[in-house]
Amino acid sequence: MASVRARSKRSLNVWPGYVDALATLLLAVVFLLTVFVVGQFFLSQELTGRDAVLTRLNRQIADLTDLLALERSSRRAQEEAAASLRNTLTATEAERDRLQALTAANEAAQGKSADVDAQLAAERGATQRAQNQVELLNEQIRALRRQLAALEDALAASESRDRESQARIAELGSRLNVALAQRVQELARYRSDFFGRLRQIIGSRSDVRIVGDRFVLQSEVLFAAGSAALKPEAGPELDRIAGAILDIAKEIPADIPWILRVDGHTDARPIQSAQFPSNWALSAARAIAVVQYLRSKGLPPQRLLAGAFGEFQPLDSGTSEEAYARNRRIEMKLTER
């Protein structure tokens, strides 16, 4: 009897161990939650820093574009001035050659007889004046050449700055493309979260499914045949979808231009009525009805887009009732504007 009591007391002593294990597990869960909150804080800080870098890059590209336009305008003006100086130089050299020929003719006339001495004296005076004018023209030519050389140097410097600006713009464009790619990746992550939540909502239903990057609802879930008015039982389905979208929208940064695209599709059988003259009209009215319902549930209208494809984007090319049913659908897609 005493041994039974002793074994009973020893069996009761294991509970403090269980309590310690549970306390340790609770502390580990609290630690993991703290790490997750800190990670979320640093992630939001990183996204804010990337937005600032993207804004600064856009501003630098605009400044460099303006500078490049000014450099090109200045280079065109310099090229026009250089062309004018070349034309002036050509005319001046022609005038110099003419005066040099006149001087040579005057010097040849000095060997004539004495009765033309007076005429030679006059010619010598004219020759001297021509020589003086030639010297002046030579000086002007040298000055024009110096100006032309300075303009060519300025043009070379302008072209060098132009090449540097183009290289810098290309680098900034590459960095901008990287930043935009990061934005696309962020939107893809939120799109993945959106479809993950929708999968939890729809479960294993056959009339509501996810195909690729689209969320597909069969028209019979929402509308009666040939009608664009939502069924009363469509409200709970759309309410769950709207709730998932609103939850995701709170997490997406405001500067990501996301939209929810709602596309209407019909089967290939034509419809002709006073309200709907074509399948396009029917699919557009159904897409608009879904968009208006989602807006009434709090989704911002600038984030909603209604599209209509009529019978021209079938999922099944068959002509059976099952194929027609598959093609009558509403598709939702979280994408960029």
Which of 308, 307, 303 has the alpha carbon at shortest distance from 336?
Answer: 303
Residue 112: exposure state from Cβ atoms within 10 A (0-12, 13-18, ≥19): exposed
- C-beta of residue 334 within 8 angstroms of C-beta of residue 210: no
Containing 290, the helix (H) or strand (E) segment is helix 279-296
Q: Tell me what pLDDT residue 192 has.
A: 60
Q: Tell me what pLDDT residue 87 has.
A: 84
Q: Tell me what pLDDT residue 43 has.
A: 81
- C-beta of residue 245 within 8 angstroms of C-beta of residue 335: no
Containing 332, the helix (H) or strand (E) segment is strand 329-336
The DSSP 8-state label assigned to residue 208 in this structure reads E
Determine phi and psi for 139, rounding to 5 degrees: -65, -40
CB atoms within 10 A of CB 150: 12
Which of 252, 219, 251 has the alpha carbon at shortest distance from 331?
Answer: 219
Token pair belonging to 289 = 């009805």
Q: Is the pTM of this model over 0.85?
A: no
pLDDT tens across the length of the chain (337 residues): 455 555 555 555 677 777 888 888 888 889 888 888 888 888 878 777 777 777 788 788 888 887 777 778 777 888 887 788 888 888 888 888 888 887 777 676 666 656 667 777 777 777 888 788 888 888 888 888 888 888 888 878 877 777 777 777 777 766 666 555 555 555 555 556 555 555 555 545 555 677 666 888 899 889 998 899 999 999 988 998 888 888 888 877 777 788 899 999 999 999 888 899 999 999 999 999 999 999 999 999 999 999 999 999 999 999 999 999 999 999 988 887 7
Residue 262: exposure state from Cβ atoms within 10 A (0-12, 13-18, ≥19): buried
CB atoms within 10 A of CB 34: 10
Q: Tell me what pLDDT residue 179 has.
A: 56
Q: How far is CA 64 from CA 72, 144, 246, 333, in A?
A: 12, 34, 41, 38
| N residues, the chain | 337
Instruction: Give just the sign of the alpha carbon dihedral 275, 280, 283, 284.
Output: negative
- C-beta of residue 304 within 8 angstroms of C-beta of residue 294: yes
Q: Tell me what pLDDT residue 13 has.
A: 66
SS3 272: coil
- C-beta of residue 189 within 8 angstroms of C-beta of residue 47: no
Euclidean distance between CA atoms 6 and 15, whole angstroms: 16
